[in-house]
Structure 1
């Protein structure tokens, strides 16, 4: 049914020629609007696990090249996008590899690869302000969002239509039939059969924006997402932002029967609802956040997303498909979990250091249910400094230092584990043309 809806909406998108928006009419040409960029990334993650769990550590150097063409002129514009990825493992220690960090997938021998390389490409067509893209892509949607938080990014192969014919309205419809895991070579290393996505967002006023999306992962689950975001201007440099995000997932009965989560019990239950409401008060260089997040339903997976079906018993809809307030190292998404966040942000540009920012969050979750216990808890202290070079030969180079202290009660050990995490990312984007 969802597949049929996508086909009908796609037809409507492609036939739309609203005079309110026509990006194709302003096309400068295939070559004239093209760009080639290279991102050099040095990434390090260290997880000091507690309670007898094995430590994890990954360190790698990556080169991520992306080419984006313009569109040919005329009623129907044609273009291409392409990327090439290479990652080199720098840490050859005994703690390298392992689920969670996932820079380099472990092979049959149990050891991660020393390096990996892959490439992909897509062809795109534009009519007015509607673009159809077919091929290898990195979608950023609430129900299918690729993971770029490790050494190399994920990618998906399929078709995506994005329409912006009406000012403030964006519509998306797509179908993807392969997933390229961020830590492995090949175009179909994630185990995804297919995923259909459908939805859109609309900027109702300058202050209010809302979104509604749905997805159907073949033989796994159906998911719906809703968002509402409102900004209350208070003064010249003061505002209050309310942001609501919610997901509802329904696991397929066959998935519940046939799949298990490694190290845990057989999947039980099929329904989960999770939502978060965050209030952020910004004044000058400072921001203060209070957020609440709640998970309900009978699925012992809680909110299921991302991962790779073949070896993780997970979903395959992208490692960033969790548009929720309390998602840091832990996602606070266990069965029945309730969590609160106190957050703080500081922009140092006000104090004469443009490009430097700091973020802090304390999140505590309780009421966690597992197959053996109820009432479990977890808590996380998150700190992050980020600096972006503002000028000179290293302009736009960014350094991100992030740490998390996560403590999980014994009752919740089936769901999560305690540890101390450190992440260091250095990204240097280079514009070739």
Structure 2
């Protein structure tokens, strides 16, 4: 892929198009200066700023495979198959967080207990649980379990914070994922520095991940690989806002003996949503093998470009995505380290795959119902070709088994969703979201053919 031609040309065209409309979003340059205030100078104290609260989430999903696809489960020593899988879990987080102590160096602690109660414990329904319901080796649901989701100590000088222990972290490569009853978190050391007005730096070194549906810590592995593990992930990057309308992020990560991965992301806004506004989003990943090459030989360039039009309550987004490489575009399991526009139920990340998505959204606040939103989308992927994959690094087992069978594979996905956020009262900020997704893949496309209905209710609460 040549960024200097296709991507930059598309960005330029989109900018020219939007200048015909009212520019309520300023295009002014933002100078880089020292931050005007010091967060540490405003510290209230270890006890004085203590808080206790959390969230509880009711997470329900029903899936149905079709076109011959089935789920498996074991009963009385026999392996049985069924088209359907249901998971229903109540996940609760109780988070206790102190304030920063006063002085030049502030100290703070954070502790969060994660608890899951399984509401559907049928072995036939949960089909072994996967990353949705925790199950034992016999496939029986673990009815109730708890763990420390967060446990860290933080040190702050001025506007720079160092965090050690189990923590949340967010970047384009290593990012906490929260699409189940409970989120993931990471064990390690990280920093966040916001000493400048429009420029911040972030980095971290992590050796373990706390998965969404497991009680113990695990080593890192890739989302699409052969289960090989690594115990060190290092990442460093920055977030920069050169214009009031433009934000960019640049990050790199070393996953020991897997790969080096580099990320660039940019978002640009033009126009006035009351008339017509345009948001351009661009995401690019470069991945190359590293060290012992446990994932085999990798040389992968993947990007997505999205153009979003907004007029009052309505938005319409077009997204194109391309994978340039003979392997999957891969990322770390139990992370949300994939900021590509067409990462949906399917990631549309097959070898050499191209994909296109059209999405429409409506915000009912414009019609007197604040908090109510609806969306619908359609995405198609084509040209999946793994026949040239040779990246086994001399091993008997390929890092991406089965990828060589993918020759001209294609797939499509449709989705519709609605959400409502309560605006006031004791349940303020409670959100309810319902989604229905249907995915259909050709014979050797990795995601198969599946339908899913999901209903998620999240209730925040404060104790102190």
Q: 1:147 aligns with which of 157, 177, 181?
A: 177
Partner residue, 1:132: 162
Partner residue, 1:4: none
Partner residue, 1:293: 321
Q: 2:443 aligns with which of 410, 414, 421?
A: 410
Q: How does 1:298-309 map to 2 (within 5 A)?
A: 298-299=326-327, 302-307=328-333
Q: 1:232 aligns with which of 262, 270, 294?
A: 270
Contact 2:219 2:231 in 1 (8 A): no
Change (3 A) 1:235 1:385: closer
Query: Aligned-pair distance for 1:187?
Result: 3.2
Runs (4+) of structure 1 moved beyond 6 Å?
Answer: none
Q: Does 1:180 align with 2:210?
A: yes
Find the aligned partners of 1:86 and 1:237 in 2 and give their Cα distance.
47
Partner residue, 1:390: 423
Find the aligned partners of 2:196 and 2:435 in 1 and give their Cα distance.
40
Query: Aligned-pair distance for 1:341?
Result: 0.6
Q: Does 1:72 align with 2:101?
A: yes
Partner residue, 1:45: 61
RMSD value, Cα: 1.9
* TM-score of the aligned structures, taking structure 1 as reference length: 0.86
Partner residue, 1:346: 362
Find the aligned partners of 2:274 and 2:45 in 1 and give their Cα distance.
41
Partner residue, 1:430: 461
Find the aligned partners of 2:164 and 2:406 in 1 and give their Cα distance.
47
Query: Aligned-pair distance for 1:166?
Result: 0.2
Contact 1:59 1:90 in 2 (8 A): yes
Find the aligned partners of 2:362 and 2:450 in 1 and give their Cα distance.
26
Find the aligned partners of 1:411 and 1:250 in 2 and give their Cα distance.
25
Q: Which moved more, 1:214-223 or 1:47-56?
A: 47-56
Find the aligned partners of 1:88 and 1:373 in 2 and give their Cα distance.
40
Q: Number of residue pairs matched?
A: 392
Query: Aligned-pair distance for 1:269?
Result: 4.2
Find the aligned partners of 2:335 and 2:415 in 1 and give their Cα distance.
19
Find the aligned partners of 1:43 and 1:221 in 2 and give their Cα distance.
34
Report the 3-state secondary structure (helix = DSSP H, G, I; strand = E; otherwise coil) of the residue aligned with 2:268. Answer: strand
Find the aligned partners of 2:287 and 2:136 in 1 and give their Cα distance.
32
Output one character per residue of 1:154-201: Cα deviation in whole Å (capped at 9) or x when no partner: 111111100000011110011011111111112346555011010011
Q: How does 1:7-406 map to 2 (within 5 A)?
A: 18=34, 20-50=36-66, 51-54=68-71, 55-93=84-122, 94-98=124-128, 102-119=131-148, 120-188=150-218, 192-234=230-272, 236-252=274-290, 254-256=292-294, 269-299=297-327, 302-307=328-333, 318-369=334-385, 370-406=403-439
Structure of higher CA gyration radius: 2
Contact 1:253 1:270 in 2 (8 A): no
